[in-house]
């Protein structure tokens, strides 16, 4: 009857091993020309609308940036909000975004519901503690716009000899597979539940009203969740690479990869 048993599995401590494994998956992706970054696009409702940034803007965020936010003025407002909530004994949630680029089209599968790459990515990010919603590309905005305004038009770049999308509202995923554009996935994180000023609860034995127990608590964990999400996305994408190109060694896998890339050039 000790409900505290869930604490360790619900804690971010559980994600440390995921980040370690994700680091290896990132190295695999880099070997095939793919990179992954994360950043915070909203924290505690600041700014009013989540930031929309290019890869170069995200890549320029310093590793020691306290909140992994590209806009320094907005980051300062976020910091001030964190300080205010600390004084109030409260916590803050927010929105993180993971971006992966350099992926060839065709990773994933359209053949079965459980093999679709967007479903696998959504599950991976959703599995992070306190993540309550996941959006790919335009996300929920896609449900309120007509098809003519939400679908990405396809063009052919004669210089690079590649099919491209003029926009990326699909978030780099169509039909359960990558389409060659940047994969963009957002995680919406709720505020942490262990408040310094606890909410009302009930003692499970006496059935009497009691304040919720307090462990320790950060004011927010959105930037850290972004790092975890990077690793989860890397693990899923790395698995998709292994599924498609296989092999018993990096040499064999690269040979299969190059053969597929040559096939795409002639498509």
SS3 content of the chain, % helix, strand, coil (to 5): 40, 20, 40
Q: Tell me the average pLDDT across 119-132.
A: 97
| pLDDT in the model for residue 134 | 98
**Which letter, b or e, does each residue of 123-162 get, where b requires 16 or more Cβ atoms within 10 Å of its Cβ?**
ebbeebbbbeebbbbbbeebeeeeeeebbbeeeeeeeeee
Q: Tell me the average pLDDT across 146-155.
A: 94
| pLDDT in the model for residue 10 | 73
**Rounded-to-integer distance, Cα 72 and Cα 58, Å:** 12
Per domain, the residue ranges of the chain are: 3-138+167-265
**Rounded-to-integer distance, Cα 143 and Cα 71, Å:** 28
Domain 3-138+167-265 superfamily per CATH = Chorismate synthase AroC (3.60.150.10)
Please, is 113 exposed, middle or buried when counting C-beta atoms within 10 Å of its C-beta (0-12, 13-18, 19+)? exposed
Note the pLDDT tens digit of each residue in 87-124: 999 999 999 999 999 999 999 999 999 999 999 999 99
Confidence grade of residue 172 (pLDDT, cut at 50, 70, 90): very high
CA quadruple 60, 241, 178, 118: dihedral sign = negative
């Amino acid at each position: 009857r000790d409900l505290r048993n869930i604490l360790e599995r619900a804690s971010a401590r559980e994600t440390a091993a995921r980040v370690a494994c994700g680091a290896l998956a990132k190295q695999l992706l880099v070997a095939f020309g793919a990179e992954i970054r994360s950043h915070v696009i909203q924290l505690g409702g600041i700014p009013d609308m989540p930031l929309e940034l290019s890869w170069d803007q995200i890549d320029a965020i310093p590793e020691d940036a306290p909140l992994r936010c590209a806009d320094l003025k907005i980051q300062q407002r976020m910091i001030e909000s964190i300080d205010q909530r600390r004084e109030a004994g409260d916590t803050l949630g927010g929105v993180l975004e993971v971006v992966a680029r350099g992926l060839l089209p065709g990773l994933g599968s359209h053949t079965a519901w459980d093999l679709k790459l967007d479903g696998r990515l959504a599950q991976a990010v959703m599995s992070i503690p306190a993540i309550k919603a996941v959006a790919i590309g335009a996300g929920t905005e896609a449900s309120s716009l007509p098809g003519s305004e939400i679908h990405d038009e396809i063009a052919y770049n004669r210089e690079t000899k590649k099919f491209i999308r003029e926009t990326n509202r699909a978030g780099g995923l169509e039909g359960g597979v990558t389409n060659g554009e940047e994969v963009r996935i957002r995680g919406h994180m709720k505020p942490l539940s262990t408040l310094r000023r606890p909410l009302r609860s009930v003692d499970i034995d006496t059935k009497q009203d009691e304040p919720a127990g307090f462990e320790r608590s950060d004011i927010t964990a959105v930037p850290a969740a972004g790092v975890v999400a990077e690793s989860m996305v890397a693990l899923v994408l790395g698995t998709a690479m292994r599924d498609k190109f296989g092999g018993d060694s990096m040499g064999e896998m690269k040979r299969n990869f190059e053969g597929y890339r040559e096939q795409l050039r002639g498509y």
